[in-house]
Structure 1
Amino acid sequence: MSLLTGSTGASVGPVGEIGAALYDVISIEDSEELHAAWLGAAVPALFSESPYYPYTSLKYHTLLTAALLDNYRAGAGFEDLYLAVGCGDEAEVVPHRTVLSLPGVALHVTSEPDGRPAAGLGAVPARSFGDVWARLPELPFDVNRERRWRVLDAQLRRVRSWSVALQYVEEYVAALGPAVSDGTDGASGGESRDT
């Protein structure tokens, strides 16, 4: 169920087509190709993590799990992890650590923010995306100049579930246009936020 529109994904297409699309994103053997496929996939977003949590996203739950696992395998503990923001040239996809990739914007869960604006996840696993989002020193959206990004920022500060928040950002940007433009509409990601 979409947090943005309230609609469900049940009317997307025939079950066979959905099943085939799901098979396409789970049958890839190369881990980097698999990660890239999940970042761009639409069908896994049609499914929630559980029928009891209809706004959650299987797509983003899977990407978050992969990011945590990759960091843990590299020796990082949860207390070492950050939500890092990449905009423009910094919006590259980092295999297994990028959890959201849109034109000009990427969010990463990583122990190595590499100079990107970042906020620590905390000492222990918690479900509050909004708390971490509110601590970011810079946002990937120009909240100082465009109301649409202030609305998105306000909503993200309220959302506790990580998969819900990431799915919401994807749908919001798809509905209202790219977060980073060519400069013709005044948007420029990475503006410092007023706190």
Structure 2
Amino acid sequence: MAENAASGDSQIDHGGQDVMVAAYRHDAHKMNGQPHDYAPETFAGVPVNQTVPHGVDGDASALSRPNGKPEQTMENHETLYRLSLIEGESRYDPEEFTRDGVESALRDLLTENDLEAMHRAWLESDVVSAFNESVYYPYTSLKYHTLLVAALFDNYRADHEFADLLLVVDSTGEIVPHRTVYTGEDFALRIDESAGARPSSRLGSRPWRSWASTWNRLTAHPLDTAHDKYDMVLDANLRRIGAWSTALQYIEDFENWTSDSLKKST
């Protein structure tokens, strides 16, 4: 957590709402392909593209991207649309991602007044999962970067240090407001300082691309790697991915791909 980061950031106007709203709106410009320095301050009448207190954007970025000046990692791919680790192709679909369709989806995501509903909308959004968090790192996911920002901010404002935090495995459908970063058919994942009796693993002393090591150290795993071939593949690949937003997006993509594969086989 950045020292004293909240002192100036807390003065930013968020339209009279809980500062948490900034976490979900801070990267709205990336879904329009606009550089941060020239991004508009409002969208559909609400403040967007504002700084999130406590330096959480930087910490969440460090979970998925290297520090320092970014470099192009994929030739001939300089778009805001994410590349799929499963297919190796862009998630852009000209029929699905029309300008009006994307703008309508963004309006629903960013103008929601109920913060818990906003959190759930981000968890369930298919549209926002199509975008990367940086054109330099096209396999990263803006959706999961945003959810990580929200989870870190909710913990930091509760006076939890990064070194106190855990990756916690919850039952499917169990959503902790702002701290759940993934929910699927078989399990949910959250960032929290307490796990209770749930399987968990510490994030470490500082934010870095530590997904694989954190996943490997879980006290118990939510996947049936002894009997289910799909779970075996998913687990093996999750043990190789370092970037957090990439890994969380991969779980979502893999679940969708598995579901489609099973439907085709029946």
* Structure 1 and Structure 2 fold alike (TM over 0.5): yes
Structure 1, residues 148-178: CA drift from partner, whole Å, max 9, x if none?
Answer: 1111111111111100000000010111139
Matches within 5 A, 1:89-104: 91-104=173-186
- What letter matches 1:78 in structure 2? F
Match of 1:35 among 81, 94, 119: 119
Q: Percent identity of the aligned residues? A: 44
Structure 2 unaligned segments of length 5 or more: list them: 1-82, 261-266
Aligned partner of 1:62 in structure 2 is 146
Structure 1 residue aligned with 2:233, among 146, 151, 155? Answer: 151
**Corresponding residue SS for 2:181:** strand
Q: What's the counterpart of residue 80 of structure 1?
A: 164
Q: Is the 8 A contact 2:168 2:195 kept in 1?
A: yes
Q: Which residue of 2 is the match for residue 170 of structure 1?
A: 252
Offset, 1:15: 1.6
Q: Equivalent of 1:109, from 174, 186, 191?
A: 191
Alignment of 1:180-195 (within 5 A): none
**1:16 correspondence with 2:112:** no
SS at match of 1:59: helix
Whichever residue aligns with residue 252 of structure 2, its letter is: E
Query: Residue deviations 1:61-101, cap 9 Å, x none?
Result: 0001100000011111001100011135xx50000010000
* Aligned 8 A contact 2:140 2:246 in 1: yes
Shift of 1:10: 1.8
The structure whose Rg is larger is: 2
AA partner of residue 138 (structure 1):
A
Match of 2:209 among 120, 127, 134: 127
Distance 1:159 1:104 in 2: 20
Distance 1:70 1:94 in 2: 11
Deviating above 3 A after TM superposition, structure 1's stretches of 4 or more consecutive aligned residues are none
1:23 aligns to what SS in structure 2? helix
- Partners of 1:169 and 1:60 in 2: how far apart? 11
Question: Separation in 2 of the partners of 1:172 and 1:127?
Answer: 20
Please say which of residues 162-171 and 147-156 is displaced more in the overlay: 147-156
Alignment-mate amino acid for residue 34 of structure 1 = M
- Does the 8 Å contact 2:203/2:210 carry over to 1? no
Aligned residues: 176
For residue 59 of structure 1, what is the amino acid of its counterpart? K
RMSD: 1.4
